[in-house]
Amino acid sequence: MSDANDPIPSFVVSDRNLALELVRVTEAAALASAHWTGRGKKNDADGAAVEAMRTAFDTVAIDGTVVIGEGEMDEAPMLYIGEKVGSGGPAMDIAVDPLEGTNLCAKDMPNAITVVALAERGNFLHAPDVYMDKIIVGAGLPDGVVDLDSSIENNLRNLAKAKGKAVRDLVLCTLDRERHEELIAKAREAGARVRLLTDGDVAGAIAACLDTSQVDIYAGSGGAPEGVLAAAAIRCVNGQMQSRLLFEDNSQRERAQKMNPGKNPDRKLGLHDLAAGSVLFSATGVTSGTLLKGIHQYPNHAVTHSLVMRSKSGTVRFIEGYHNFKTKTWTPQ
């Protein structure tokens, strides 16, 4: 029995506070990259997001290590894998995609977001920059209702049954890529609708777990780092995800092996293999999409829309931020 006089455990306080600190980080990246929305310069947009996110992390009270980041230490980008960030505090691992959908931002197309996830040390898969096969559904469905190793027809049939719908009422979301031609054709043949994304499968994966998005299932291959970020979000909303790293050659496989010693790099990965323990997730919209509205610019202020979640409590917050240009610089103070 808890007592009103019991102290609140410190991890609860830090965890809760951190969730809100993280919003600042994704907001800063989104505000910075929004200067480049529609300007056709994806590298500038990405660079602005990375720099703003890196600076924003300086004020977050953690002893953080980047495990999903912008590249290897020898390339020395900001937010490289292994980089230490934060002003000191609990040991945490960090996964970032400062601008998920650089093309989407450059072309002012929907679904560009900035993304950060945090876990206690050792809880994220160390994913190399390879493709990952993913299958994702939302909460409230029987365990294993879909399976990465089943045919898409079977998965759609089982999902429809569990949802009390017909297959023709299901929407499958995937990246519009040649490598998905067969998946798309088979899903349509089975009767489902297919929503195609030009980019941005983190937003797509999360959409499969949110009723408001009208997406029932996400399937197909995208970036492995993006898979870890999606997994962190899916943990918070109690969805299901299975995945597997895809290797184009043995050197990619060896890299994955080296990053995760003692583990079979070809194994099927469950949600907890990707993101275990207590995780925090924050994303801010750059351009408006299924998940979030983008940055709204006004003469003297900008409005941000963010999604912040904690796996421990399962609380999902949509946070609207009003940023006053007169009293605030672009970097957090």
CB-nearer residue toward ligand VTB: 222 or 285: 222
Q: Which does 216 bind (CB under 5 to 8 A by kind): Mg ion, ligand VTB, none?
A: none
199 binds, among ligand VTB, Mg ion, none (CB under 5 to 8 A by kind): ligand VTB
Query: Of 52-60, 199-207, 238-246, 248-256, which part binds ligand VTB (CB under 6 A)?
Result: 199-207
Among 68, 226, 237, 286, binds ligand VTB (CB under 6 A): 226
Nearer to ligand VTB, 86 or 101 (CB): 101
Query: For the residues of 233-287, what is the DSSP string, one character each?
Result: HHHHTT-EEEEEEE-SSHHHHHHHHHHSTTS-TTS-EEHHHHB-SSEEEEEEESS
Is residue 263 close enough to count as binding ligand VTB by CB under 6 A?
A: no
Q: Is residue 265 at the binding interface for ligand VTB, with CB under 6 A as the rule? A: no
Report whether 199 belongs to an annotated binding site.
yes
Residue type, 252: Q
Tokens in use for 58? 């300086």
| 216 interacts with Mg ion by CB under 5 A | no
- How do 301-310 and 316-324 pair as beta strands? antiparallel
93 binds, among ligand VTB, Mg ion, none (CB under 5 to 8 A by kind): none
Q: Quote the CA–CA distance of 130 and 259 in Å, as a whole number.
A: 13
- Give backbone dihedrals phi and psi of 262, rounded to 5 degrees, phi first: 80, 0
75 is in an annotated binding site: no
Report the residue number, 155 or 222, with the smaller CB distance to Mg ion: 222
Specify the pairing of strand 91-100 against strand 113-120: antiparallel
Helix (H) / strand (E) element for 42: namely: helix 42-57
Beta carbon nearer to Mg ion, 159 or 205? 205
Phi-psi group of 58: left, alpha or beta (phi > 0 → left; psi -120 to 50 → alpha; rest → beta): alpha
**From the annotation, which residues make up the binding site for substrate?**
100-102, 131, 177-179, 199-201, 223
Which residues in this chain contact ligand VTB in the complex, by CB under 6 A? 100-101, 175, 177, 199-202, 222-223, 226
